[in-house]
Amino acid sequence: MRRLRRIKILATLGPASSDLAMIRRLFEAGADLFRINMSHTPHDKMRELVATIRNVESSYGRPIGILVDLQGPKLRLGAFAEGSVQLQNGQTFTLDSDKAPGDATRVNLPHPEILAALRPGHALLLDDGKVRLIAEETSKEHAVTRVVVGGRMSDRKGVSLPDTDLPVSAMTPKDRADLEAALVTGVDWIALSFVQRADDVIEAKKMIRGRAAVMAKIEKPQAIDRLADIIEASDALMVARGDLGVELPLERVPSLQKQMTRMARRAGKPVVIATQMLESMIQSPVPTRAEVSDVATAVYEGADAIMLSAESAAGKFPVEAVSTMNRIGEEVERDPIYRSVLTAQRPAPESTAGDAIADAARQIAETLDLPALICWTSSGSTAVRVARERPKPPIVAITPNIAAGRRLAVVWGVHCVVAEDARDQDDMVSRAGQIAFRDGFVRAGQRVIIVAGVPLGIPGTTNMVRIASVGPEGGADI
């Protein structure tokens, strides 16, 4: 199952893709890891999906990552006496703490934290931005607003607050229960929704205690203002363009996507581009040309992964959606311009031994035109450091730790192999050649470069580069 592309594919599972046969087909079509959306998945179903993915993993002998996406706080209106009302441009409309059913002049907002945080001039977006209100008078009991963009409003529609910094945790009681259930099953990544500040990530990490890595979803304007701190606190980033495009002007999203991709790469953190990438394939076996261009843009930018949501979870053509993404990634990465873009955006190495070694290994591999760059890694950090450099040859990561291998499924360019740890440096060099030979990355007589940390088995000690020749049986010698 060697992939011919560097960018990874994250496929969401759902009603259209929950049985063993379909998950197997998605993996064969190109999915490198799978997302379970806890907004729609009960615990029993989540456990069943995890078991099924592990079944597929064992049959192919290649680590597959599992990401559990927490729902996060869902802010919604109360109910209307007649089920819905029509809001007119320019009218006054009140949101209040009164639990009585609403009418054309007012409705309950069952979130005291919103009423406490709202200020005059703040915007409120209802039903994914279809209706827009501006607060004119605020208190802890009510907010009097003016309707700027009217429309029909019905029970329990969502509320977005692009101007308001809410003093609430990104994790609700439901999220905490979902998180604990997911951690018990041994999932690899936790996606944290509606992150506003680094403290949201730190809070989740305290609960997780190293049992999974944390991916911060950037979908709030408040997160944009604190992006550097959030990236530093997180293990990875997801550019959640759907909600981001509701709370910010749509025309800002493409530039923010590029900024976040480059910031994450500079920090050495994986970045996933998500939402509506092949939206038309929910109903159609082929995407629009604009969607193909959108996916290609993420590939050209050097993102670590691209994600399918409803396309693979509930669409009519989940396998076709994955294979389409796979073909786009392969085609873009064959383009000579792709390599020049990655080179132009390469950040300077951090002033650490690990980053200096990774940068040197990349330069040596490209200067000597080596067919593979091999990393021995215990925690996965060596492979992540090397991937930050976006080297021309494929990255083969060898780890004795299955959890590290599964987390690396989201990292650009990394082909991960789980193997027994090396006994010593000679064993490390020899087996690196054998594994790269076995998996088709090198031929007998070719040279490879090997990056590792010594003493062996100690995480975070990337400090060694070796060049070795691959023998006729695949073993490598210095």
Secondary structure class of 266 (helix, strand, coil): helix
Over residues 448-475, the mean pLDDT reads 82
User: 268-309: per-residue pLDDT in tens?
Assistant: 999 999 999 999 999 999 999 999 999 999 999 999 999 999
From CA 95, how far away is CA 141, in angstroms rounded?
9
The predicted structure's pLDDT at residue 1: 72
Over residues 61-75, the mean pLDDT reads 95
Confidence of residue 453 (pLDDT cuts 50, 70, 90): confident
The predicted structure's pLDDT at residue 142: 96
From CA 10, how far away is CA 272, in angstroms rounded?
8
Is the per-residue pLDDT at 339 higher than 90? yes
Side-chain-side CA neighbours of residue 278 (13 Å): 35
Residue with the bigger pLDDT between 74 and 315: it is 315
From CA 330, how far away is CA 7, in angstroms rounded?
9
Out of 3.20.20.120, 3.40.50.2300, 3.90.1150.10, 3.20.20.60, the CATH code matching 8-72+170-337 is 3.20.20.60
From CA 342, how far away is CA 329, in angstroms rounded?
14
Out of 3.30.360.10, 3.40.50.720, 3.30.70.20, 3.40.1380.20, the CATH code matching 353-477 is 3.40.1380.20
> For residue 126, what are its two tokens?
């209802």
Q: Which of 16, 10, 15 is nearest to 318 (CA)?
A: 16
Is the per-residue pLDDT at 478 higher than 70? no
For the chain, percent of residues with pLDDT exceeding 70:
98
**Domain boundaries defined on the chain:** 8-72+170-337, 84-160, 353-477
Confidence of residue 251 (pLDDT cuts 50, 70, 90): very high
User: 372-410: per-residue pLDDT in tens?
Assistant: 999 999 999 999 999 999 999 999 999 999 999 999 999
Q: What pTM, to 2 d.p., does this model score?
A: 0.94
Is the per-residue pLDDT at 222 higher than 80? yes
Element (H, E) at 452: strand 447-453
Q: Which of 291, 170, 262 is nearest to 223 (CA)?
A: 170
Is the per-residue pLDDT at 477 higher than 70? no
Select the highest-mean-pLDDT range: 150-159, 446-455, 468-477: 150-159
From CA 91, how far away is CA 81, in angstroms rounded?
19
Q: In CATH, what class is 84-160?
A: mainly beta
Secondary structure class of 71 (helix, strand, coil): coil
Is the per-residue pLDDT at 438 higher than 90? yes
Reduced 3-state DSSP string for 316-375: CCHHHHHHHHHHHHHHHHHCHHHHHHHHHCCCCCCCCHHHHHHHHHHHHHHHCCCCCEEE
Angle in degrees, 0-180, between the axes of helices 336-344 and 318-334, rounded to the nearest 10:
80
Is the per-residue pLDDT at 473 higher than 80? no
Q: Which of 193-197, 222-226, 455-459 shows the lowest mean pLDDT across its residues? A: 455-459
Query: In the predicted model, what is the mean pLDDT of the chain?
Result: 95
Over residues 229-238, the mean pLDDT reads 98
Interacting residues of 12 by C-beta distance below 8 A, sequence separation 6+: 34, 35, 36, 37, 307, 308, 309, 310, 311, 312, 313
Confidence of residue 476 (pLDDT cuts 50, 70, 90): low
Question: What is the strand order of the sheet 447-453 is part of?
Answer: 414-418, 395-399, 373-376, 447-453, 462-470, 476-477
Residue with the bigger pLDDT between 1 and 270: it is 270
Q: Which of 228, 216, 303 is nearest to 265 (CA)?
A: 303
Confidence of residue 220 (pLDDT cuts 50, 70, 90): very high
Angle among Cα 140, 141, 142 to the nearest 5 degrees reads 105
Locate tokens 């010698």: which residue? 477
The predicted structure's pLDDT at residue 70: 97
User: 9-19: per-residue pLDDT in tens?
Assistant: 999 999 999 99
The predicted structure's pLDDT at residue 474: 64
Is the per-residue pLDDT at 431 higher than 60? yes
